[in-house]
Structure 1
């Protein structure tokens, strides 16, 4: 049962992690009358995540809009994330229908700009207290439920009590570990390295992704004329790749179809990356506790969905628990509502992502859809909706979509046969 209201709390909600998920949740909860303590282990308000695709998928645009960040992002030079994808059948290039609306979008923007922006926005929201330099070292428990956190500070450890504790502290979440929330781990058979370049023109001025089966690569234009370029080869290539990291990185990019002119560009950051990035899935709730962002679910970075899912999960949590977090409802029921929505919206995406992270070639359904999308604009638009996480796997692979793709490929084969 939810803890009785005779209890004394320092805040309604304490959130560990003041990055995208944590800041978004803090803002949206506070606007609904919730008193929020927003803890961040780093002391620098300008701190940011470096290992990221630096892209927010279109599914999160409504959250950015609700947060009031869209004008600030546009002013900061964020780039609307149009994209094209290379496959063995050619390029998939989604375009708006001639008489239809523009394609949904969000933004490519470096985390060095985005993180301080949203953190400042959270700190300026009435009802949010941003506490920098606070590392969660443990949880306060009472009768099997979480009722607060213990946090280290420069002055020593402090106990902070709240009706709800939220872990927004990433894939290695200290909150989840302290609560002993088990993680389901999926192996990722790719490794990845990225760097930022200036003066790197891209075809059409838009993002590029290469599906090389099993290797991957992407190049995303960002704010201030910077392009984020990443390579994600199969782990079998790792020993040779690491012998000469810079040489291997440049050689991989040069070999890409329609490769961006990397040799004439200026690299403005180090080449950074990870050789082991498994996918994690955790139950997003426990009594008195919720997980959002990467703490709940860590997707494969090649899809660039992490930022979008962080913002979405923050919104789902705020919508579900805000009244109960202030003592005006049953918190356990509200958390159950959040958990159902989180799993319904993301479980299918994560299942497909974990399967593709095995480094396998496209399966038959993927071959059908990707080949048709390279040959037909309407199928390409349908794929864009899925890549933007605006539709789920069931709708992406619904019978009508599969029939359409099959018809496109049949017409293509007939055209090739008629014109040998």
Structure 2
């Protein structure tokens, strides 16, 4: 099918949404020579996403490095996100192997710091026009493909045509809705509330996650001495939380193993959250159109993967379609390649997340792995690699890992019974 030429506005790509996924995609596509219109519905260049885990998992580190953002993040006070996880078998505390490389890491950084930083970097990139206060109200269509957008702008209505339209506009993506992209929704059996605290010490200064089966909680230290503290209980507890949100939130936190001392810390925000946060999956492409970040796949917030996947999907899109978007290749074939990568890299992760979002306790395989990880450093590192999304479900649950976990747990039982040596550390 014939693709539209670059238009009167001179754009090859128009991106709706100038947060993580959209700004990263704009920078990377412009490096391929594409002229990019980066649209942001909000007029404030300092605007940011409020409800977020504020975590960039280690899989995002290479993307951040490629974008040239690592020095700026370190200067802004982003915290390397080392973490420990509580389970019924004890704490999983990943550590580097003796004489081995350091554990890979990402960052905890507030979106009030991160979003303006990456948006400004996009606006400074040659080939990118950052257009604030531009909200997509419709799509331009020709012969069954998307060829541009209609927008409401400060100066009035306008049309912007382009070879490629990218929806980077979040889980409630207007672009996906206007394009009629089907959405598969998975119910989330948990609700979530979070608050920001200052002077809230955490054990070892590390991020903490509590697997309470089925309830969850986490505390992540961020830039400027601010800690994000979140609780994600089973929805059966929602009526009680609604009756007394502040009392229920604080009571839940006080009951955590090695609970953060919230009563002696300064809470610097309201308690905010969502009582219904389904997991959404959409096909990431259509003729002339691509979706990145939460617009393509919204996972369970308890895993803190959304920011990392926003950056990764932007990179996958640019790698697949960059030359074609600039007029040097077959765009439809390139979009198909992006869709295959997206499906291959994220479908398994989303399937596991959707299953666990039913608010069930650990299944037998999870019990095997997590129990061993609390007892064995090698298994703890293995869980860390999966939690950081550096490996997929296939490698996480490979026969060798399961066999080691079974041996570790068997050794632990023998030791507990006084019948043999403990598990090798």
Matched residues in 2 for 1:221 and 1:419: separation? 42
Q: CA deviation at 1:56?
A: 0.3
Matched residues in 2 for 1:57 and 1:416: separation? 36
Give the equivalent residue in structure 1 for 2:355. Answer: 355
Matched residues in 1 for 2:47 and 2:389: separation? 28
Give the equivalent residue in structure 1 for 2:60. Answer: 60
In the alignment, structure 1 residue 262 sits paired with structure 2 residue 262: yes
Give the equivalent residue in structure 2 for 1:82. Answer: 82
Give the equivalent residue in structure 1 for 2:324. Answer: 324
Give the equivalent residue in structure 2 for 1:287. Answer: 287
Write out per-residue CA displacement over residues 265-295 of structure 1, whole angstroms, 9 at most, x where no aligned residue: 0000111000000000000000000000000
Mapped contact 1:217–1:231 kept (Cα < 8 A): yes
Q: CA deviation at 1:8?
A: 5.9
SS of alignment partner, residue 194 of structure 1: strand
Matched residues in 1 for 2:181 and 2:4: separation? 24
TM-score (norm 1): 0.99
Give the equivalent residue in structure 1 for 2:423. Answer: none
Q: CA deviation at 1:10?
A: 3.4
Runs (4+) of structure 1 moved beyond 4 Å?
4-9
C-alpha change, 1:226 and 1:70, in structure 2 (3 Å) is same
Give the equivalent residue in structure 1 for 2:165. Answer: 165
C-alpha change, 1:333 and 1:9, in structure 2 (3 Å) is farther
Matched residues in 2 for 1:23 and 1:385: separation? 27
Matches within 5 A, 1:2-401: 2-3=2-3, 5=5, 10-401=10-401
SS of alignment partner, residue 131 of structure 1: strand
Matched residues in 2 for 1:129 and 1:2: separation? 26
Mapped contact 2:171–2:294 kept (Cα < 8 A): yes
Matched residues in 1 for 2:355 and 2:125: separation? 40
SS of alignment partner, residue 405 of structure 2: helix
C-alpha change, 1:110 and 1:6, in structure 2 (3 Å) is closer
TM-score (norm 2): 0.98
Matched residues in 2 for 1:416 and 1:110: separation? 44
Matched residues in 1 for 2:9 and 2:403: separation? 57
Q: CA deviation at 1:417?
A: 0.5
Matched residues in 1 for 2:3 and 2:65: separation? 34
Write out per-residue CA displacement over residues 42-80 of structure 1, whole angstroms, 9 at most, x where no aligned residue: 000000000000010000100000000000000000000
Mapped contact 1:9–1:163 kept (Cα < 8 A): no
Give the equivalent residue in structure 1 for 2:409. Answer: 409
Q: CA deviation at 1:100?
A: 0.3
Q: CA deviation at 1:7?
A: 6.9
Matched residues in 1 for 2:35 and 2:248: separation? 50
Matched residues in 2 for 1:112 and 1:260: separation? 24
Q: CA deviation at 1:9?
A: 6.2
Q: CA deviation at 1:2?
A: 4.1
Mapped contact 2:5–2:163 kept (Cα < 8 A): no
Matched residues in 2 for 1:2 and 1:246: separation? 58
Q: CA deviation at 1:155?
A: 2.4
Matched residues in 2 for 1:385 and 1:274: separation? 28
C-alpha change, 1:31 and 1:240, in structure 2 (3 Å) is same
Structure 1 alignment gaps of length 5 or more: none
Matched residues in 1 for 2:7 and 2:227: separation? 52
Q: CA deviation at 1:98?
A: 1.1
C-alpha change, 1:201 and 1:6, in structure 2 (3 Å) is closer
Q: How many residues align?
A: 420
SS of alignment partner, residue 117 of structure 1: helix
Write out per-residue CA displacement over residues 278-325 of structure 1, whole angstroms, 9 at most, x where no aligned residue: 000000000000000000000100000000000000000001101101
